[in-house]
A and B are shown apart, each in its own frame.
Chain A
Amino acid sequence: MYADGLYRFVLKNMRDEDDAHDVVQDTFEKVWVKVDNIQYEKAKSYMFTTAYHTMLEKIRRNRSTNLDEADLSTQTHSGQYTGANEALSDALQRLPDMQRSVLMLRDYEGYDYAAIGEITGLSESQVKVYIFRARVFLKEYLVSIDNVL
């Protein structure tokens, strides 16, 4: 039921289809093991929490084994944007991991601040701050791109 949403969330964060696929698969495996103890009403939140932490774990592993690879978030865009969506997608990848995650949970999944806090382990006020910073960053990026074009 939540596989697509989980997959989009993870894929946008990790930018690697195979890794995203693995994380979703691992998430479901972990959830099935605990299925007896999961409240129906909290199943979705539980899955996103599990996916989030599984993703962080995988990112850490990937980073430790790929130290030589450049971080995409530090790369600059070399081509021309064909539309606002592409520019926004590029800007999204430049956000710090945490800001990107909370913004996606907010916009993609419609979670409130408290739920995002539960998933990410942040306080509600930290979530608000990260979302604020993320939106301001994206705005400034879009404005700067617009000025260049």
Chain B
Amino acid sequence: MNRINHDNYEAFLLDMVEGTISAADREELMLFMATHPELDMDLDGLEFATLDDEGISFPHKENLKKTEASRFDVLAVKQLEEGLTAAEQQELDAIVASNKKYTKELAAFAQTVLVADTSIVFAGKEKLKQGAVVRPLWYVSLSAAAAVALLVGGFWLYQQNSGKQPAEFANALINGKTTPTITINPKVKGDIEQLDTFAQVQAPRKTITPFKNNTIISDNNTPDYAKSEPLYISHAQAQVPFEPTALDTDQPVALYMAVPYIDVQGKKPTLLNTLMAGLRKNIGEGVKDEELAHRLDTITKRGPELSDLAFLGSKGFEKITGFKPNFRRVEKNDNEVSSLSIGRYTIVTTRPKRGE
């Protein structure tokens, strides 16, 4: 007895409030409080100091319990969705036969398959058109890979011969060689090989294997002015998606400049940097062609991307890069030799002459 004193009586009070105090301790506490009226404790008031849960409880506890879906429902839905195995079909038939209600429910399930109301159509489809075409990625990437490789090669070739004009340079290649080649700087060889790999990855369904027949050779066709860079790419078979003759009909030259893979490679060849500079510099200027103007406007609003070049056509290409594409083709023996000059860059291609 007399365990309760001024130093510990509050602990006993707490036990009392929480209802954990023993009968003996309660009796002793009551005695202590009675003999020390100076503490002026309101034992009844203490009981109200607890937080009341106000009787709030979640009203739909039953809904929280995991319920097993009825086997009938599972089978009926599976029948609609993916079909049943023979055993499952037998099981479903047995369930349906066991109670008439399942026949009705099975019929109701069949009605849950929604059928589109084709009488509902969108009025005003014309307003949705913009004139652009969604092109398969393989087409863009293959074309881009081929063109960029060639353009980079041409760029370097021209860089090595900066004293010559593009047309003169192209003519030299066309007239001076039966097997035209493009000189390529060894510094970009690795880039081209990577582009090749990338293009094949992006186009697994196509049999086209760009650059497959390209080989880095050192041959006797080396132009005198390119002797300092004796590496060549014979690209005759590399041009499958690249149709320079299409330039005659104003096909989008720049399609071949689309470079969705540049980010993948993490590299921006010098040529593309140059084109981007042209894009940024000239993008805001007005153009006459309404379609081109619209696309340029769209690009301007959201900021230019390299791949925009793919949809701007030769006019747009000239507009945004300042480079005018020029195309020339001659026949040499059984081959067709073409040169494409874009500003300072020249591409020369060769391939077997087409049949009439």
Residues on A facing B (Cβ under 8 Å): 3-8, 11, 21, 24-25, 28, 32-33, 35-41, 43, 84, 88, 92, 103-104, 107-108, 131-132, 134-136, 138-140, 142-143, 146
Q: Which residues of A contact B121 (CB under 8 A)?
A: 3-4, 7
Selected from B77, B122, B123, B305, the residue in CB contact (under 8 A) with A132 is: B77
> Do B112 and A142 have beta carbons less than 8 Å apart?
yes
> Do A135 and B105 have beta carbons less than 8 Å apart?
no
A25 to B115 CA separation, bound complex (whole angstroms): 24
Offer 9 A-B interface pairs, CB within 8 angstroms, sorted by A: A4-B120, A7-B122, A11-B120, A33-B302, A35-B132, A88-B112, A107-B115, A132-B69, A143-B104
A146 to B104 CA separation, bound complex (whole angstroms): 9
Interface string of B82-116 (1 = CB under 8 A from A): 00000000000000000000001100110111111
Selected from B109, B111, B114, B308, the residue in CB contact (under 8 A) with A36 is: B308
Q: A4-B120, A36-B305 are in contact. Are A138 and B112 (CB under 8 A)?
A: yes
> Do A28 and B114 have beta carbons less than 8 Å apart?
no
B202 to chain A: closest residue by CB: A39
> Do A139 and B108 have beta carbons less than 8 Å apart?
yes
A111 to B202 CA separation, bound complex (whole angstroms): 24
A85 to B308 CA separation, bound complex (whole angstroms): 48
Q: Among B77, B133, B258, find the residue whose CB has the most chain A CB atoms closer than 10 A.
A: B77
A120 to B123 CA separation, bound complex (whole angstroms): 26
Query: Taking the complex as formed, is B3 at the interface, i.e. its CB lies under 8 A from any CB of chain A?
Result: no
Q: A36-B307, A142-B108 are in contact. Are A7 and B127 (CB under 8 A)?
A: no
A104 to B120 CA separation, bound complex (whole angstroms): 15
Interface string of B109-139 (1 = CB under 8 A from A): 1011111111011111101101011111100
> Do B114 and A107 have beta carbons less than 8 Å apart?
yes
Selected from A41, A88, A107, the residue in CB contact (under 8 A) with B136 is: A41
> Do B77 and A4 have beta carbons less than 8 Å apart?
no
Q: Which residues of A contact B123 (CB under 8 A)?
A: 21
Q: Which residues of A contact B54 (CB under 8 A)?
A: none
Q: A21-B124, A131-B81, A135-B80 are in contact. Are A40 and B137 (CB under 8 A)?
A: yes
Selected from A7, A38, A108, the residue in CB contact (under 8 A) with B114 is: A108
Query: Taking the complex as formed, is B173 at the interface, i.e. its CB lies under 8 A from any CB of chain A?
Result: no
Q: Among B76, B77, B108, B111, find the residue whose CB has the most chain A CB atoms closer than 10 A.
A: B108
Q: Which residues of A contact B111 (CB under 8 A)?
A: 84, 88, 138-139, 142
Q: A36-B305, A143-B105 are in contact. Are A8 and B112 (CB under 8 A)?
A: no
Interface residue ranges of B307-350 to A (CB < 8 Å) = 307-308, 310-311
Residues on B facing A (Cβ under 8 Å): 69, 73-74, 76-77, 80-81, 104-105, 108-109, 111-118, 120-125, 127-128, 130, 132-137, 258, 260, 298, 302, 305, 307-308, 310-311
Q: A25-B128, A131-B81, A143-B104 are in contact. Are A37 and B112 (CB under 8 A)?
A: no
Given contacts A28-B128, A138-B112, 10 further A-B contacts (CB under 8 A): A21-B122, A35-B311, A36-B258, A36-B310, A37-B260, A40-B135, A88-B111, A88-B112, A138-B108, A140-B108
Selected from A3, A104, A138, the residue in CB contact (under 8 A) with B122 is: A3
Selected from A28, A88, A134, A136, the residue in CB contact (under 8 A) with B69 is: A136
Q: Which residues of A contact B130 (CB under 8 A)?
A: 28, 32, 35
> Do A7 and B260 have beta carbons less than 8 Å apart?
no
Per CB-CB distance, the 9 closest pairs between chain A and chain B, nearest first, are: A107-B114, A7-B122, A40-B136, A138-B112, A3-B122, A142-B108, A28-B128, A32-B130, A139-B108
Q: A24-B128, A146-B104 are in contact. Are A4 and B136 (CB under 8 A)?
A: no
Q: Which residues of B contact A108 (CB under 8 A)?
A: 114, 116
Selected from B73, B108, B113, B258, the residue in CB contact (under 8 A) with A107 is: B113
Q: Which residues of B contact A143 (CB under 8 A)?
A: 104-105, 108
Selected from B105, B114, B305, the residue in CB contact (under 8 A) with A104 is: B114
Q: Which residues of B contact A139 (CB under 8 A)?
A: 73, 76, 105, 108-109, 111-112
Q: Which residues of B contact A35 (CB under 8 A)?
A: 130, 132-134, 311
Q: How far is the CB of B142 from chain A (nearest CB, A)?
A: 13
A11 to chain B: closest residue by CB: B120
> Do A8 and B117 have beta carbons less than 8 Å apart?
yes
A71 to B80 CA separation, bound complex (whole angstroms): 30
Q: A32-B130, A32-B132, A136-B73 are in contact. Are A92 and B114 (CB under 8 A)?
A: yes
